[in-house]
Structure 1
Amino acid sequence: MAKSKFPGGRRTGNPAAGARPQTASASAATVTVDDAPAKKKTSPAQFFSQVRAEGRKIIWPSRKETWITSVMVFIMVLLAAAFFWIVDWLLGQASTIVLAIGQ
């Protein structure tokens, strides 16, 4: 059984929907956003140095890998186009036959 998303296992809010209204003691126990520790702000210089460090980790594909991948994508696009053209033609022929029956 999945764990409830609501404290105490019950929803609080609209009493008309069958939920219990929140009491003063329950609302006093809730944690506010202000209690969370503040994150340390990053200066623009630190930000750009972190961006450069992450950029250095990127492994770029070689020209050969890029060429092979591009050719494979082009072949798959041609195959998909041929498949959908054939399916479209077959459905068009079938609809022509079905509509000719009624004449």
Structure 2
Amino acid sequence: MARKPGSTPQAMKNRAAKTAAVIAPASALAQAAPKKKTSPAQFFREVRAEARKITWTTRKETWITSVMVGIMVVLAATFFSLVDGALTLAMAFLLKLANAG
């Protein structure tokens, strides 16, 4: 049986070495980068700046989403009730056949 190209041990070692070479500088940079200390005031300024970027939904969007969730819950409950009823009838029928035989 012929081997696939690149499946030799040497080819796998070469690929692993290339991958390690690509990953190593990134991890070395992450370890070498000094951690910047921020003051509590700077932290809260940044938090406020990020909070301003939040887009809140409107009352109408919230209402529509809530109604859709309610509809999906009712549909799922109906579906599972029907499946449960069908399985109950099937099991009752099978048990009746088993006892009659």
- Name the residue aligned to 2:81: 85
Structure 2's unaligned 5+ residue stretches are 1-5, 7-11, 22-26
* Whole-angstrom distance in 2 between the partners of 1:57 and 1:37: 28
Residue 44 of structure 1, aligned match among 37, 40, 47 = 40
* Whole-angstrom distance in 1 between the partners of 2:42 and 2:98: 75
Aligned pairs for 1:20-99 (under 5 A) are 36-99=32-95
Aligned-residue sequence identity (percent) comes to 54
Q: TM (normalized to structure 1)?
A: 0.65
Measured against aligned partners, the alpha-carbon deviations of 1:19-63 in whole angstroms (never above 9, x if no partner) come to: xxxxxxxxxxxx88xx52221022221111111111111111111
Inter-CA distance 37–81: structure 2 relative to 1 (3 Å threshold):
same
* Whole-angstrom distance in 2 between the partners of 1:62 and 1:75: 20
* Whole-angstrom distance in 2 between the partners of 1:84 and 1:64: 30
Query: How large is the RMSD of aligned CA atoms in angstroms?
Result: 3.0
Give the length in aligned residue pairs. Answer: 81
* Higher helix residue share: 2
Moved over 4 A (4+): 5-8
Q: 2:36 is paired with a residue of what secondary structure? A: coil
